[in-house]
Structure 1
Amino acid sequence: MYSNVRPFVTLSYGQRLCRSRTAEGSNPTWNEQLQLQIQSQFGDLREDLKISLFDELIEQQYSDEASDLYQRVQCNWLGEFRVPINSLLASRKFEGCIELAMPKVLVGYKRPLIDSVTNMPTDQYPEFKEAVHLWFYLSIEPGGGDLMPLQSCALACAEKPELQQYLGERRLELQQLLPQPQRYVEPLVCTAQGKRVCLTRLLDAVPLPPAAVPSGENPLEICIRYVSLLSQLRSYDPCQGFRGVWLDNQSLLDSTWCSVKDLGVLLCNYMLSLGLECWLILGVACPHGECSFVLFRQPETAELFFVSPATGKRYQLQDVHCPLRRIYCVVGKENIYFNIQTETRVSMTHFNFQDGACWFPLFSRRVPAPQSGVQKLDYAYKRSYELSQLQKQIERKIMKKISVWRTTRKTIWNRAFQPRLHKILCDMEGLSTFSRGRYDEPIFSEQLEREFPNYRLYGFTLNFAYTNLAAISERIRTSCIHYNHDASVEFCVAVHLHAHANDVLSVWLFLLSMVPLVE
């Protein structure tokens, strides 16, 4: 993490918050139980449960009287991890190691880079990560009522009766081999058109986003970034699970809203369009519960990687920090392979699908898997609208909200920093898409410190997909940057919107607080 920090963790939902004690140093251990009371109906729980990391900064303050000395406590936000409350209600608990989402740029702190602590190349030693991890156990009491799965058996089935009978026979064989009954995923799923189809039909090469049409840039990274910016539904209903409704690319891209499992299908189809060897993984991950990941083979090295479609991050198969906790089955365009290994750890799972002792193939040469027929192969993307007015509106909204939250103090806005912050934000979308987070973050902080040496600076960038103004306000309030009680503190905010096809917007915010240094 960071040196010379006094970290503590908060757990919050809506306006309710509880916190841990303050620890010392960059490798803290809390061993505490935090409890948060939430009073609401299951259907009204749509927000995220937030685990935030703060640094408690204590400043010595002197008054005019030489004998008077007092302290002022400042809490600086360092990062967070968000758990959709509907996923926690469905899964009842999450445990293990999580990776906190850290700001791409964090002003006022020096983040230790791998190069500064080791001479070993990071590609050879992937266990070294420039990330902050937290071990935790999260549960909810009482748990959500078991969601009744959609009764889709009565729906019309697009598959032939012979295939339906064959799948029923294979299910009986499979149930004798599965170490855990919950690993079984029904191969006939419900689509948005109200018909049941085989899972293999969902995988098909679909048109790429306009920005990813093969050019000098890396189209795979553009596709991964685009999928990660699509909005995810937060409702607590059975449509989110594997036995729920599966969207085709037209339904998903027209609405830009979906469940996490649909994101995996779309990303897998984009990879098929790029000619990559890939599979759809159905399993359980933290913090989404039942969801899909994508497994693909890197053409240059033939190495396999996991990709989380919700975040756009990729992981090696042996990465113990991968959020994928359990694998139920792997769906390819030509077959479905059920995981019959007794090993539950993903990092120890074998991925040789030809090994009958590890994987159970649902189809065979005698009965091949049905293909295509679900996705719209000639889908046309729409151009995004002009964003200058929305960008100004977001900036005004943020300034107004911070001023309102600071009810007892005057809020001073310093616009001298804004051009520099805007310039940094304009580069961030490209850096986030193509560099996989391995850009030199200290450059941005050092530039600000050199240009404004007479200020003590603290600030950070935020990035997320645009949904509405209320969601932006909630993100800023969670960071608590407005709680700076220094009498001379000033603020600056910069907003940048990056438009993708179909009005999928990437919002970049730079929030900065500065205190003039007394000579």
Structure 2
Amino acid sequence: MGNHISLAVLLCNFFHDLTVNGWLLLGTSVVEGETAYVLTQENTWFVLWNPRDGKHYQSYDSFCPLKTVDCLVNGENVWFHLQPTRKMPITFDVSNNATWKPLLPKGFNSDSSSTPAEIKYRPPQIDLVNHLQRRLEMKLKSCVMDWRSPHPTRWSPRCAAMLSEVMQKLERNPASDTIALEIDRLLDTMKDYKVTGFPIHMAYQDMSTVIEAVYNTRIHSTEIPGTEFALSTYIHPYPNHILSVWIFLATLVKHQHGVFYVPSVHKH
């Protein structure tokens, strides 16, 4: 969810997109201690918004948990509250020089800064990502067979297809309860097998880093006769060439009903 400042910035930008006059407010609360709120103005009315729970208060509302105000921030300037107490309620008229001191002088050209007016995001190239996903899976299978040599490696396409579905769901919701739910479903489907394995989740850097992460699980090192293997990869692309990589390697031993060992999602 982010901390109180990032939530307040997000809410402030949301109001800005709605053309609502707003400021980021830094101060203290009787509930949270140091905190960040959003201040909006409509005509002569000022409203204080708590980004954590969405509750809002009129500036003179005695039930507002905000205790003191230190500064206000928007896209034009930063204003520091000059009053010694800084206690609520206060006036939010930033043109009042006796109450508010601006950081930047009047007439300062904010456009002269090096901050770009617009951040351009490159859309993901789906075809290239799908190609990388296939290459990565083929390479990992080849590595597993090499690591197990001279023992034969038998693959289970059925289980691999189910692992692929699991990883796509985990990308959408990587919470621990989601992992447990999906593992329970997989165990129910593969109830004739003892299944051992867990998902690896990491940002893509290069293929060798992924291979090392899979090798370090040591799942390939089993020597139980009749063991089958299932391996599946899933890459979810994000803008600006950011790739979320999931790898699921599991072993299956028939006629043994065991527990699927999932200590946690391994992040790298």
> Structure 1 length normalisation: TM-score?
0.32
Aligned to 1:382: 122
Give distance in 2, aligned partners of 1:510 and 1:474: 14
Distance 1:472 1:296, change over 3 A: farther
Is residue 368 from structure 1 mapped to residue 103 from structure 2 by the alignment?
A: yes
Aligned to 1:495: 233
* Cα contact 2:7–2:51 (8 A) shared by 1: no
Aligned to 2:173: 431
| TM superposition shift of 1:463 | 1.4
Task: Return the letter of the residue paired with 2:103.
Answer: P
Give distance in 2, aligned partners of 1:400 and 1:388: 19
* Cα contact 1:272–1:278 (8 A) shared by 2: no
Give distance in 2, aligned partners of 1:457 and 1:278: 53
Task: Return the letter of the residue paired with 1:451.
Answer: T
Is residue 301 from structure 1 mapped to residue 53 from structure 2 by the alignment?
A: yes
| TM superposition shift of 1:335 | 5.6
Q: Which runs of 5+ in 1 are unaligned?
A: 1-220, 225-264, 280-294, 304-331, 338-352, 356-363
SS of structure 1 residue aligned to 2:250:
strand
| TM superposition shift of 1:392 | 0.4
Listed as ranges, the matches of 1:216-295 within 5 Å are 273-275=13-15, 277=24
Task: Return the letter of the residue paired with 2:215.
Answer: R
Aligned to 2:139: 397
Aligned to 2:261: none
Give distance in 2, aligned partners of 1:445 and 1:278: 44
Aligned to 2:218: 480
Give per-residue Cα distances to partners, 1:100-123, cap 9 Å, x unaligned.
Answer: xxxxxxxxxxxxxxxxxxxxxxxx
Aligned to 2:68: none
SS of structure 2 residue aligned to 1:382:
coil
Task: Return the letter of the residue paired with 2:167.
Answer: L
* Cα contact 2:79–2:103 (8 A) shared by 1: no
Give distance in 1, aligned partners of 2:163 and 2:9: 37
SS of structure 2 residue aligned to 1:511:
strand
Give distance in 2, aligned partners of 1:278 and 1:501: 31
Aligned to 2:64: none
| TM superposition shift of 1:493 | 0.9
Is residue 452 from structure 1 mapped to residue 204 from structure 2 by the alignment?
A: no
| TM superposition shift of 1:409 | 2.3
The alignment covers a number of residue pairs equal to: 189
Listed as ranges, the matches of 1:49-68 within 5 Å are none
Give distance in 2, aligned partners of 1:498 and 1:278: 36
Give distance in 2, aligned partners of 1:465 and 1:380: 21
* Cα contact 2:79–2:102 (8 A) shared by 1: no
Give distance in 2, aligned partners of 1:402 and 1:268: 48
| TM superposition shift of 1:266 | 9.9
* Cα contact 2:79–2:101 (8 A) shared by 1: no
Give distance in 2, aligned partners of 1:517 and 1:417: 16
Distance 1:278 1:452, change over 3 A: farther
SS of structure 2 residue aligned to 1:479:
coil
Give distance in 1, aligned partners of 2:116 and 2:223: 55
Aligned to 1:158: none
Task: Return the letter of the residue paired with 1:448.
Answer: L
SS of structure 1 residue aligned to 2:155:
coil
Task: Return the letter of the residue paired with 1:516.
Answer: K
Identity percentage of aligned residues: 18
| TM superposition shift of 1:518 | 6.0
Aligned to 1:37: none
Q: Which runs of 5+ in 2 are unaligned?
A: 16-22, 27-34, 38-49, 56-72, 88-98, 258-268
Give distance in 2, aligned partners of 1:336 and 1:407: 68
Give per-residue Cα distances to partners, 1:143-178, cap 9 Å, x unaligned.
Answer: xxxxxxxxxxxxxxxxxxxxxxxxxxxxxxxxxxxx
Listed as ranges, the matches of 1:11-50 within 5 Å are none
* Cα contact 2:156–2:228 (8 A) shared by 1: yes
SS of structure 2 residue aligned to 1:486:
coil
Distance 1:375 1:413, change over 3 A: same
